[in-house]
């Protein structure tokens, strides 16, 4: 059922790629539906190139016949469609459940339009209630970064994968930080980014332009409040 809502949101988001030539492809189970729908458009003749936000997304896009281009080889991305872990009423988000937050943020920042797709379970009143905040850190100094995150009031846990530290596509670690509630995402983001060894945080502020929310029986398209 949740998959139906994700798919509904993903397919509805395709309206925003009309006229685009370069699209950003997000990461995760919701983004996967958008990638499959974009592949179908290309099979039907759409002339699109894509920038992937992770190795997994690049692999899926490659299998589906989507022509990929490196972020360094495009001046701009027309539109990026990606998922989210939590979205607050101001369109601030937590991302990085799949560990791709750094590339996701870079691709979003290189995009003229950022469309976020999600099922209704991702809507929250305040960030940090249902999910920890992922922070990508350098392995060399992860314990120091972790201690400094604790000083900000967070409880960081090193993300694991098969009993070893999870390693991102960039060769770094993820600290999943319980910092609930995140009432001032912009300020929290600023403080986290000042911590030595932090590569990127999963707080996405002023990034989502449009959110497309899939419900069991409908889709809602919302534009960011100005």
Residue positions annotated with a catalytic role = 104
Examine residue 98 and tell whether it contacts ligand 5RP (CB under 6 A): yes
In angstroms, what is the minimal distance from the CB of 119 to ligand 5RP?
8
Select from 17, 20, 81, 82 the one that contacts ligand 5RP (CB under 6 A). Answer: 82
For residue 155, how many C-alpha atoms fall within 13 Å in the half-sphere facing its CB? Answer: 6
Please list every residue from 26 through 65 that binds ligand 5RP, using CB under 6 A: 26-31
Angle at CA of residue 204, ends 176 and 11, nearest 5°: 105
Query: How far is 22 from 9, CA to CA, in rounded Å?
Result: 20
Examine residue 24 and tell whether it contacts ligand 5RP (CB under 6 A): no
Of 93-101, 105-113, 153-161, 187-195: span binding ligand 5RP (CB under 6 A): 93-101
In angstroms, what is the minimal distance from the CB of 113 to ligand 5RP?
17
Parallel, antiparallel, or unpaired: how do β-strands 49-52 and 22-25 relate?
parallel
* Residue closer to ligand 5RP (CB basis): 117 or 148: 117
Query: How far is 122 from 65, CA to CA, in rounded Å?
Result: 30
CA 81 to chain centre: 9
Token pair 């991302």 is found at: 95
Examine residue 84 and tell whether it contacts ligand 5RP (CB under 6 A): yes
In angstroms, what is the minimal distance from the CB of 47 to ligand 5RP?
26
Query: How far is 140 from 146, CA to CA, in rounded Å?
Result: 12
Q: Report how many residues bind ligand 5RP under the rule CB under 6 A.
A: 18
Of 11-19, 58-66, 98-106, 177-185: span binding ligand 5RP (CB under 6 A): 98-106
Q: Are residues 28 and 85 in contact, defined by beta-carbon separation less than 8 angstroms? A: no
* Residue closer to ligand 5RP (CB basis): 45 or 61: 61
Q: Tell me the two tokens of residue 2.
A: 């949740």
The b/e string for 108-121 (b: 16+ C-beta within 10 A; e otherwise) is bebbebbbbbbbee
In angstroms, what is the minimal distance from the CB of 45 to ligand 5RP?
28
> Which residues form the interface with ligand 5RP (CB under 6 A)?
26-31, 82-85, 95-101, 104
């Amino acid at each position: 059922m949740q998959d139906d809502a994700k798919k509904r949101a993903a397919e509805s988001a395709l309206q925003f790629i009309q006229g685009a030539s370069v699209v950003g492809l997000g990461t995760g189970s919701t983004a996967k539906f958008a990638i499959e729908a974009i592949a179908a458009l290309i099979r039907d003749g759409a002339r699109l190139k894509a920038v992937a936000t992770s190795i997994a997304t690049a692999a899926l896009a490659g299998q589906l016949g989507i022509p990929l281009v490196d972020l360094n080889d495009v001046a701009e991305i027309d539109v990026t469609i990606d998922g989210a872990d939590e979205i607050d009423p101001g369109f601030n988000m937590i991302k990085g459940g799949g560990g791709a937050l750094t590339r996701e943020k870079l691709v979003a920042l290189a995009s003229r339009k950022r469309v976020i797709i999600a099922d209704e379970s991702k809507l929250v009143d305040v960030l940090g209630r249902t999910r920890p905040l992922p922070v990508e850190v350098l392995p060399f100094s992860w314990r120091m970064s972790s201690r400094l995150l604790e000083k900000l009031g967070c409880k960081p846990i090193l993300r694991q994968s098969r009993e070893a530290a999870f390693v991102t596509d960039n060769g770094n670690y993820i600290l999943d930080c319980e910092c609930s509630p995140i009432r001032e995402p912009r300020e929290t983001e600023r403080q986290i980014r000042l911590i030595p060894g932090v590569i990127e945080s999963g707080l996405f502020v002023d990034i989502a332009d449009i959110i497309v929310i899939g419900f069991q029986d409908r889709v809602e398209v919302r534009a960011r409040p100005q």
